[in-house]
Amino acid sequence: MKREISKVVEKETFFLCPNCGQRKHDFEDLLRYYREKVLNIEKSYIEKVKKDVESASEIERKDIERKHWNISFEYVLRSGKHIRSTLIILSTKAFGGEESKALLTAAAMEYCENWILVHDDIEDNSLVRRGDKTLHRKYGVELAINAGDFLHVMMWKILMDNRSNLGEELTFKLMEKFYKILLRTTLGQTAELLFMKKDLKEIKEEDFYYIADGKTGLYSIGGPLSLGAIISGREDQINLLKEFGKYLGRAFQIIDDVLDVTSDFRGLKERGNDIYEGKRTLLLIHLVNNCNGEEFEKVREILSKPREKKSKEEVEYIISLMNKYGSVSYARKRAEEFTKKALEVLERIDFVEEQYKEELRLAVDFILNRDH
């Protein structure tokens, strides 16, 4: 299937490595390069904010402070792929802006991702995040929520620090855009949580896209690209970037859900995690609409159980049905269709050089063909 999806990206894709100046053909090389830069800024705030804590008492409790910082920064130090922050930087450069102007916003985006993950993990009762126990499983729900709140505060702090780099007006434009991105993202989360409580027969394919358009299309793709356009003074391109993000975001989410039943994300996640959590994925919607009555009742019975009551055998049963009825193949086909639409939009975006379209084609190929 990898070759079939790769056909969607017809042009040769490469980028010139900033380190060696040679052509590279792997988007993960690009992610690693910018991840290091952004992560260095993220880490710099670990010590920086400790100095900002105002003393409210003459009593010192270094043990509590140490515990607070360790818990709060744990997801930052585990670090993710940095797709969103990389897209901010690429977009900034693609519209003629300077990379240095985008780095703080990119770091803020990663802090944003971390607080959202902390809260998502609690809402979904997830067990593993980036190869280790989720924060609430490790330290308890109360401390995890507090750490998520702290990371949320840090996101706004880093965005405010853009004032020395970008000026007041542009900084507040970026903060306004963050607000609008997160407004739609949290709405999408509400939709997902509500749909998880609805009967399986009531969930339609368009419900899945409604969730994906906010939680993935805007938050993970269109939003970061729009932030780069704002930094570069190219707000005229935002509607196209949002359209590109909508289609690629749908493909991104579909492939993520396919990987959930076909991969262990290189040991970083549990196979079938969406089924354990009761997520209404495109694969599940397709299965429900195609399996027979007896099978459907068994699927409904399994999904009605809380995570800890579902057995591995039950989860594997649902995965086997998804393969039996072609739900995995159907999802991959839909992802390919949305990818084609995204690439059509990409051709209409007015970047300063063709190289940047090639880098985004690399991103498209990575999103569709990744194994983690």
In three-state secondary structure terms, 19 is: coil
The structural domains of the chain, with segments of one domain joined by +, span 14-50+64-369
Query: Which string of b and e fits 229-261 if b means at least 16 CB within 10 Å?
Result: bbbbebeebbebbbbbbbbbbbbbbbbbbbbbb
Of the candidates 245, 227, 111, 249, the residue with the CA atom closest to the CA atom of residue 180: 227
State the residue for tokens 């130090």: 77
Task: Please give the full DSSP string across 127-196, using - where no structure is assigned.
Answer: -EETTEE-HHHHH-HHHHHHHHHHHHHHHHHHHHTTHHHH-HHHHHHHHHHHHHHHHHHHHHHHHHHHHT
Residue 52 pLDDT: 86
Which residues are CB-contacts of 20 (< 8 A; sequence separation ≥ 6)?
none
- CA 288 distance to own-chain centroid: 27
C-alpha distance from residue 23 to each of 19, 77, 86 (Å)? 11, 30, 18
The dihedral formed by the CA atoms of 291, 292, 296 and 299, expressed in degrees to the nearest 10 = -60
Taken in order 72, 75, 78, 79, the sign of the CA dihedral is negative
Angle at 160 between CA 68 and CA 86, to 5 degrees: 85
Q: Which CATH class is domain 14-50+64-369?
A: mainly alpha
Whether the full predicted model's pTM is greater than 0.85, yes or no, is yes
Taken in order 304, 307, 310, 316, the sign of the CA dihedral is positive
Alpha-carbon distance of 150 to 102, in angstroms, equals 23
* Beta carbons of 283 and 319 less than 8 angstroms apart: no
Residue 24 pLDDT: 54
Residue 2 pLDDT: 44
- CA 247 distance to own-chain centroid: 15
> Mean pLDDT, consecutive 10-residue segments, the chain of 372 residues?
44 50 71 95 93 77 92 96 96 96 98 97 92 95 98 97 96 98 96 92 94 94 98 97 97 95 71 92 96 96 93 96 97 96 96 90 87 70
C-alpha distance from residue 81 to each of 34, 113, 343, 366 (Å)? 10, 11, 23, 12
Residue 271 pLDDT: 85
Residue 11 pLDDT: 44
Residue 55, both tokens: 């003393």
Residue 58 pLDDT: 75
Alpha-carbon distance of 151 to 331, in angstroms, equals 34
CB count within 10 Å of CB 280 equals: 23
Segment (H or E) for 15? strand 15-16
The dihedral formed by the CA atoms of 180, 79, 13 and 255, expressed in degrees to the nearest 10 = -70
Alpha-carbon distance of 213 to 291, in angstroms, equals 27
In three-state secondary structure terms, 23 is: strand
Residue 278, both tokens: 């009761």
Residue 176 pLDDT: 98
Which residues are CB-contacts of 357 (< 8 A; sequence separation ≥ 6)?
346, 347, 349, 351
